[in-house]
Amino acid sequence: MINETALLESKTLRDSVLERTDVLDKVKALSLLPDGMHVTTAMVAAYFEVAERAVNRMAQRHRDELTVNGLRILRGEELARFKGDTLSLYPESYPQPRSSLALWSRRAVLNAAMLLRDSEVARQVRTYLLDMEYLARTTHSVDNPAEAATQSLDDRIDQRITHILGKTVVPMFNALIETSGEHRKELIALRAGVQRVEQRLRQHHARLQRLESPHEGRPLPGVMASMDAMNGRTFEHHIAKLLRRDGCTNVVVQGGHGDRGVDIIALTADGRRLVVQCKRFAPYLNITSPDVQKFVGSAKVLYSAEVALYVATCPFTPEALSIAASGGITAVHRGLLEEWSAGAPLEILE
């Protein structure tokens, strides 16, 4: 099996897998601009969990390759049209660029995953791509292609491991070793090689399960992408739906003019007064300490809340988290929101 670092070195190999843009959301949800097709450099950096300057350096080194795969630099009239048609829809979430704006297609983002050396997310994307390539090569010779297409990936790997290696090849070598004298050492060496292959396949299987399963520390793909596409009001109603799912009652969405800094009021399942502030911001922005301070006043003074949630589609600054903790506010940051939306309950509501 080709090592994942090969993608860093071989443009030919990168080109061969660029159609598999769906793996981006399988590894981690990729947020898009309101046009539903592009991301900015800041959003690329947020996805790969690296500094924006690291993405810019990589883009400068590989500009020709990335341009072929959808990287565009908007300037002048083209930039003005994009700002007016797209970014102006959500002025709070997407800061307006000055003289130029880099737009990345999903294909260009996948290309970036095969060029960023120091991103753990990019490494996972490369690993997933090569797992798929390996699986395609090892299953192309099945007798019934139609049946193979309907089998799950895990079923095919399990069948290959269990029936070919575990129940056929290794026992055969055991029998030959018992009855052979002259070639005993060679057979033992061959058996060891087969057992190494079996172990590698098991590791491969486990890795695929981690990548495919929503229950192994990573929620369902697309959860955050769908929320990033919502407007503020739709997002508030989405949070209200999660509250009802977790047993809250008397849930009222009141976000808007005159809400006094609280978007949702409710009662928890055990009767405690609950208030929620909802912020649908771009994932590369942050909730700051002044934001949380204002909510502390609204939640505790104006509403006398016993449970207060500040729910955001972006991270909180360390100072904001500290103020939230001292003020009795539960900060539901982007990662926690993803888990909550995918089915995990919030501890404060239990």
Model pLDDT, residue 136: 59
Question: With b meaning 16 or more CB within 10 Å and e meaning fewer, what string describes 253-291?
Answer: bebeeeeebbbbbbbbeeeebbbbbbbbbbbbbbbebeb
> Do the beta carbons of residue 102 and residue 115 sit within 8 Å?
no
Q: Phi/psi at 309 (nearest 5 deg)?
A: -115, 130
Q: Which of 123-137, 153-167, 309-323, 325-339 has the lowest mean pLDDT?
A: 153-167
Tens digit of each residue's pLDDT (9 = 90 or more) over 243-269? 999 899 999 998 665 567 799 999 999
Name which residue leads in pLDDT, 341 or 90.
341
Do the beta carbons of residue 96 and residue 90 sit within 8 Å?
A: no
Contact 342, 219 (CB under 8 A): yes
Take residue 88 and report the two structure tokens written for it.
Answer: 């102006």
Angle, helix 106-113 to helix 120-139, in steps of 10 degrees: 90
Q: What is the pLDDT of residue 58?
A: 95
User: Residue 147 — very low, low, confident or very high, per pLDDT cuts 50/70/90?
Assistant: very low
pLDDT at 196 over 60: yes
Helix/strand/coil (H/E/C) assignment for every residue in 277-321: EEECCCCCCCECHHHHHHHHHHHHHHCCCCEEEEEECCCECHHHH
The CA distances from residue 136 to 2, 126, 203, in Å, are: 13, 15, 17
pLDDT band, very low/low/confident/very high, at 60 (cuts 50, 70, 90):
very high
- Predicted confidence at residue 55, as pLDDT, reads 94
- Check residues 226 and 339 and name the one with the higher pLDDT: 339
Third-level CATH fold of 223-349: Trna Endonuclease; Chain: A, domain 1 (3.40.1350)
Mean pLDDT confidence for 123-127:
86
The single-letter DSSP state of residue 251 is E
Q: How confident is the model at residue 203 (pLDDT cuts 50, 70, 90)?
A: low
Q: Residue 197 and residue 205: Cα distance in Å, rounded?
A: 12
Report the pLDDT value the prediction gives residue 8, as an integer from 0 to 100: 83
Question: Once rounded to an integer, what is the mean pLDDT over residues 213-230?
Answer: 58
CA dist 222 and 42 (Å) reads 19
Amino acid 204: pLDDT: 59
Which has the higher per-residue pLDDT, 12 or 88? 12
pLDDT confidence bin for 35, thresholds 50/70/90: confident
Q: Is the pLDDT of residue 105 over 80?
A: yes
- Check residue 173 and give its pLDDT: 64
Q: How confident is the model at residue 167 (pLDDT cuts 50, 70, 90)?
A: low
- Please tell me the predicted confidence (pLDDT) of residue 149: 42
Asked if 261 contacts 277 with a C-beta cutoff of 8 angstroms, the reply is yes
Residue 277 has pLDDT above 90, yes or no: yes
- Where along the chain do its domains lie? 6-130, 141-212, 223-349
As a whole-number percent, the residues of the chain with pLDDT over 90 amount to 30
pLDDT, the chain, mean:
79
pLDDT exceeds 90 at position 194: no
